[in-house]
Structures are given as C-alpha cells and as structure tokens.
Chains A and B, each alone.
Chain A
Amino acid sequence: MTDAGFNLIPLLIVAATLGSFILTGLRARSREMSDYGLGGRYIGRIGGGAAIASNWMSAASFLGMGGLLYLQGYYALAYVIGWTGGYVLLLVLMAGQIRRFGKYTAPDFVGARYDSPAARLISAGISITISVIYCTAQFKGIGMLFAWLFGTDYRSGLLLGGTVAVGYVILSGVLGVARNQQLQYTVLIVSFILPLMALAYKLGYFWVLPQFGYGVAIQDLKREFGVNFAAPFAAGSLFQWVALCFTLMVGTAGLPHVLSRFYVVPNIRDARWSLVWGLFFIALIYWSAPAYAVFARLLEARAGMVPPPVAAEKMADIVVLKTAVLGGLPEWMIGILAAGGTSAAFFTVAGLLITGAASFSHDIYYRLINPRASEATKMALAKGTVVALSALVLLIALHPPGLIAEITAVAFALAGNTIFPAFLLGIWWGRANRHGVIAGMLTGVVVTFATPLFGRFVPAVADIFPLTSSALFGAPLVVAVMIAVSLLTPPPSDEMRRFLADQVHGHME
C-alpha cells in the first residue's frame, strides 16, 4: 500500500461506517422506548458511561494524543492525566450539585444563578468560542484523514472533509437520526484497540492487552536505538507539565458539552456511577494511545526512516494511522482505524456545532434580543448558525495554529479560566454575585489569550500564562477576582441564597 495515492478500501470502510450510523439511527427512531424495561438500571449505568465516553472521544483523543506522545514522549502524558483527572474534579465538586440546581447548559446556569443577562451573554459568547476552537482541532483531524484517504494535499482534504462533515451533521438533523452513543463507543474502542493488538502481535510484544504490554518496546527503543521515550523532563519542565495538566483538568470540569452530559441519566446516583464507567471507558483508550506512539518510534527506527523534526511535526497528528501503515497491517484494518478517527471527529463536530448554535439562537437571540421569537425562527437561526460557524471553523483550519491536541488545549484553558470558576463559586459560595462573575469571566478571557495579546511586550506573561496551560495561575486568579469583586458589591438576592442552601445543599435536611 502506498502512502500518497488513493486508499480505496479504507475509504469504502469509512463511508460504510458513517452510513451505518445513519441507518441504525433511523431504525432506532422508529422503535419504542420501552426497549429499556427491567434491569435497565444496571445497563443504564454502563450505557450511560459509554455515552459519556463517546461524547468525550474526539479527534484529539483518537489522533491528537498519539501525535503529541510521539513528538514529546513522557511530557505529553500530561494530556492523559489532565483528561482523566478532570473527571474527578467534575464528580466531586459539581456533578450532583449542578443536577440539583437544574440548569444544564453553561449560559443557563450562569444566567440563573447570578440573575444577570450580561453574565448569560458573556458565558454564551465563551461557549461559542470554545465550540469554534474545539471544532477547529476536529477539522484539522478531518482534513488530514481525508487528505490521506484521497491522496490529496491538506487543503483539498480539509475542504472535502469539512463539507462532508457539515453535510453529515445537517443530513442527520434533517432525517432525525437518533444518536446511539453506546454503538458509537463500541465502534471507537474496537477500531482503536484492534489495530493496536495486530501491531503488538506483528512486533512480537504482548498483544492480548497491548495497552499494558508495550513496556518492553520502550526499553528496546532505548537499548537498540538510543531513543529515550520516557525521559520525564526532556520536552518540558516540571512547571510546564503541571501547568498543562492542571489546565486540562479544570477545563474538563468546565467544558460546556461535558457538563451537560449528566442530565440524560434518571437520577443523581446513576449519574455519579455512570461517570465512573465513563472514566473507565475513556481510560481504555488513553492507556492505549502511548502504545501507538512508542510503536511508531520503533517502526521508524527499525526501518531507518526517522523523519526530521519538522516533517515529524507535520504528520504527527495522523501518526496513529501512519503507524498502522508502516507496521504493514492489512488495508481493511487500516480502514477500520480511519473509520474510528473519522467517526470520533464527526460526532464531536456535530455536538459542538449544535451546542454553539443553541447558545446563539436560545441564549443570545431568544433571551436577549427577541423574547417573542417563535420556535420556527429559533430553529432557522440555529441552522444558519451551524453553517456560519462551520464556515468560520473551516477558514481557521486552513492554517491550523498548532497540533490537534494543542488547539484543543486552548479550548480547555478558556473553559478552565471562565466557566469552571463561575460554576465552582456559583455552587460552593452563596455570596458570589453577578458583578463578581462578570469581572471573573472577563479576567479569564484576558488571561487565556494573554500570551498572544501581551506576550510580545511582556515576555514574563508567556512564562506565567502559556497559551495551552494558562489555568494553573489563571483559574485561581479568576477565583480571587470573583471573591474580591463580590465582597465589594451587594450580595445576591436572598431568594437565590436560600435556594442554594435549601435545594442544592440542603436536600437531606
């Protein structure tokens, strides 16, 4: 199989996979909901976990993480840790309380808790920005995958893949396709693990659980070729590692489309337990991603084809796929891997575009501009927003500002610097008020983009608030601003404070 030409078999598998999601989604729609029935409680928690995991898995997890690990080794484990450890924060600090509060989107929560249209507007704007940044990373993945599938350059791949992705989102919406997230997760995990098992088998490592058996490969890499994949601080300092890891953690706990996941499960107890399952399913992929990176390094070294750093960086984001090609896996198996990556990116794009469109049509237009807007107007506006946002994303993705996981990390930094503190204090400190949250969120926006804004004039800014890792100092700073401004201004209404105390925290008394 060549690397440059048209990859027909993988392309057919990708098309068949995406098509089958539409068909099963249409079939599911016509079926009765009573399929759940008795025993649904147990299945519900695992199923809910699979839904959380499939909602979470994006091109950043599927492709981007492997790419960064390939480039940076141990340093990139900050992504593995940040994106799993964030769920602990989410579970212990917020899950139950947000659910009892009863507002499921970030603008809804901020608007209601702080009783302020301005705060709602700012958080809606932030949600849309997060969607756009996150989507840009997905589009980069889609562009690279399509470029590989069709044997074209990145630009053509992006235009083609972006159009197909948006078409897919709109077609699914028009047909009313039900999302089967359990099926999606199954496809993602199988398509990620199966080729990895085949690679481990071919390379002669423990293949039954390849995610735990690649340790020998790390040692072989060092002994045979002098490549030290595991050097802890070769690609970044302790501070950089911790700042990145912490940023991804608070970002996970503040990401709008993750927060709203808890409300599809019938009660709080099930929501908490399905989060544990979700974390386990996510970890299954994250335990595996480093193995791809190690195998990629090993295969390159053995073939004597170690690319120079610039070339390595250019192709890092599809290194997972390149490893399968270099390892000589059969074409159908490479097709399955490509289908998994494409599905992960497509479903994330769908979720993000819909979240962004809803923020605009509901939280900005309906709530602030025209409260008498009809449902039809809101729908039309939402559809228009999907198209406008995708055009914007496509434009940015033509010149991607970084690697997939790095672009995604900026979205996490923004969420961690704005929405996370707004929720944290909103839930855990009754005195936090609208002036505090507005000042805090605006500070968070400035802090997130401090490096591109001021880094040139004040070099220290780039050290303290690195673009992908600004929340280590950013989030505490925003919390401090929120506390200070809240204390200097009048407290929120007694009604809200009583609601927090009695409904959100006093449900057992």
Chain B
Amino acid sequence: MQERERYDVNLFRPRQGYMTGEVAIILAVLLGWGVVNFGFQAVLRLLAETPDGEGIFTRLTFLSFPWHFWFTAQFLPLWFIILCILFNVYIDRHTERHSRRRDRSHD
C-alpha cells in the first residue's frame, strides 16, 4: 500500500516536493483566470439596471470605451497574457530551485 501511494497522482493531493509547489502555482493562476473573467460578467449582471445589462459599468468610460467593453474586449486578453507570464516565471524559478544540477538543463 505504501508503494502504491508513492506513485499516486492526484491534482488535489499532490505529492511532497516539486509537485506541491507546482500545483499551488497552477491553482493560483486558475483562480485569477476564473474570478476575474467570469466574476466580472456576474458583477456586470448583478449591477445591471435594465434587462440589456445597462448600469454603472456601461455609463463609465475608460480610454473612450464604455468601461465594461474595455475590460472584456481589451483588458481580459491582456490579463490572460499576464497570467501566462506569471505562471512561466514562477514555474521557471520553481524548477530551478528543485533542479539538482541548476544548469538550465533540467527541462
């Protein structure tokens, strides 16, 4: 049984060592991915004053765009790029910390 657990792979029960840190980074990025995108659409709906969704966000403007339109059409793709960069930076660091040789040949 001990042996079986040693090679048990489960996203929600990561094994000690490299995988624990890796999974923490993954879950943090996924949280930022889901909350900022789907969360904003939900807030947009909650604060809507008409069936079409008109409300505070559609009245405010940013860079001449209605605020919500700017956020979804322009900021969210940028946000995804930022998330990917953060993920890569943290995984690069994490990998280097765990690499035995630390000579960038680890992957």
Q: Once bound together, how far apart are the Cα atoms of A385 and B100, in whole Å? A: 48
Question: Is B103 an interface residue when CB atoms closer than 8 A count as contact?
Answer: no
User: Looking across the interface, which residue of chain A has its beta carbon closest to that of B38?
Assistant: A242
Q: Would you call B9 and A268 a contact (CB within 8 A)?
A: no
- Chain A neighbourhood of B106, CB < 8 A: 507-508
Q: Would you call A233 and B84 a contact (CB within 8 A)?
A: no
Q: Would you call B73 and A508 a contact (CB within 8 A)?
A: no
Q: Would you call A228 and B52 a contact (CB within 8 A)?
A: yes
Q: Once bound together, how far apart are the Cα atoms of A85 and B104, in whole Å? A: 29
Question: Is B85 an interface residue when CB atoms closer than 8 A count as contact?
Answer: yes
Q: Once bound together, how far apart are the Cα atoms of A89 and B83, in whole Å? A: 10
- Contact A283 B99, CB 8 Å, known A74-B72, A273-B88, A509-B18: no
User: How many interface residues does chain B have, given as a range?
Assistant: 35 or more
Q: Would you call B17 and A509 a contact (CB within 8 A)?
A: yes
The B-contacting residues of A in range 481-509, CB under 8 angstroms, are: 494, 497-498, 500-502, 504-509
Q: How far is the CB of B24 from chain A (nearest CB, A)?
A: 12
Q: How far is the CB of A97 from chain B (nearest CB, A)?
A: 10
- Chain B neighbourhood of A44, CB < 8 A: none
Out of A233, A276, A287, name the residue touching B77 (CB < 8 Å). A287
- Chain A neighbourhood of B107, CB < 8 A: 96, 267-269, 507
Out of B6, B63, B64, B83, name the residue touching A88 (CB < 8 Å). B83
Proximity string of chain B (26-52) to chain A, C-beta cutoff 8 Å, 1 when within and 0 when not = 100110010001100110110010011
Q: How far is the CB of B65 from chain A (nearest CB, A)?
A: 4
Q: Once bound together, how far apart are the Cα atoms of A238 and B42, in whole Å? A: 7
Stretch at the interface among A119-127, A213-221, A327-335: A213-221
- Contact A85 B33, CB 8 Å, known A230-B68, A269-B92, A279-B81: yes
- Chain B neighbourhood of A454, CB < 8 A: none
Q: Once bound together, how far apart are the Cα atoms of A234 and B54, in whole Å? A: 9
Q: Would you call B33 and A429 a contact (CB within 8 A)?
A: no
- Chain A neighbourhood of B85, CB < 8 A: 276
User: Looking across the interface, which residue of chain A has its beta carbon closest to that of B5?
Assistant: A501
- Chain A neighbourhood of B53, CB < 8 A: 74, 231-234
User: Looking across the interface, which residue of chain A has its beta carbon closest to that of B7?
Assistant: A501
Q: Would you call B80 and A505 a contact (CB within 8 A)?
A: no
Q: Once bound together, how far apart are the Cα atoms of A230 and B57, in whole Å? A: 11
User: Looking across the interface, which residue of chain A has its beta carbon closest to that of B92?
Assistant: A269
User: Looking across the interface, which residue of chain A has its beta carbon closest to that of B46?
Assistant: A238
Q: How far is the CB of B99 from chain A (nearest CB, A)?
A: 7
- Chain A neighbourhood of B76, CB < 8 A: 80-81, 84-85
Q: Would you call B91 and A272 a contact (CB within 8 A)?
A: yes
Q: Would you call B29 and A92 a contact (CB within 8 A)?
A: yes
Q: Would you call B52 and A88 a contact (CB within 8 A)?
A: no
Q: Would you call B8 and A428 a contact (CB within 8 A)?
A: no
Q: Once bound together, how far apart are the Cα atoms of A233 and B77, in whole Å? A: 20
Q: How far is the CB of A476 from chain B (nearest CB, A)?
A: 13
Q: Would you call A91 and B51 a contact (CB within 8 A)?
A: no
Q: How far is the CB of B22 from chain A (nearest CB, A)?
A: 8
User: Looking across the interface, which residue of chain A has its beta carbon closest to that of B19?
Assistant: A505
Out of A87, A212, A219, A501, name the residue touching B74 (CB < 8 Å). A212
Q: Would you call A81 and B77 a contact (CB within 8 A)?
A: yes
The B-contacting residues of A in range 228-283, CB under 8 angstroms, are: 228, 230-234, 238, 241-242, 245-246, 267-269, 272-273, 275-276, 279-280, 283
Q: Would you call B84 and A430 a contact (CB within 8 A)?
A: no
Question: Is A286 an interface residue when CB atoms closer than 8 A count as contact?
Answer: yes
Proximity string of chain A (356-393) to chain B, C-beta cutoff 8 Å, 1 when within and 0 when not = 00000000000000000000000000000000000000
- Contact A502 B45, CB 8 Å, known A81-B37, A215-B61, A272-B91: no
Q: Would you call B84 and A87 a contact (CB within 8 A)?
A: yes
- Chain B neighbourhood of A275, CB < 8 A: 84
Q: Once bound together, how far apart are the Cα atoms of A246 and B42, in whole Å? A: 14
Q: Would you call B9 and A430 a contact (CB within 8 A)?
A: yes
Question: Is B10 an interface residue when CB atoms closer than 8 A count as contact?
Answer: yes
- Chain B neighbourhood of A231, CB < 8 A: 52-54, 58
Question: Can you list 19 pairs linking A and B with CB atoms under 8 Å apart?
Answer: A77-B72, A81-B77, A84-B77, A88-B30, A88-B33, A96-B107, A215-B66, A215-B70, A219-B66, A238-B42, A245-B38, A269-B104, A283-B78, A286-B77, A428-B9, A498-B7, A500-B9, A507-B18, A508-B18
- List chain A positions with a Cβ less than 8 A from chain B: 74, 77, 80-81, 84-85, 87-89, 91-93, 96, 212-213, 215-216, 218-219, 228, 230-234, 238, 241-242, 245-246, 267-269, 272-273, 275-276, 279-280, 283, 286-287, 290, 428-431, 494, 497-498, 500-502, 504-509
- List chain B positions with a Cβ less than 8 A from chain A: 6-11, 15, 17-19, 25-26, 29-30, 33, 37-38, 41-42, 44-45, 48, 51-54, 57-58, 61, 63-66, 68-70, 72-74, 76-78, 80-81, 83-85, 87-88, 91-92, 95, 98-99, 104, 106-107
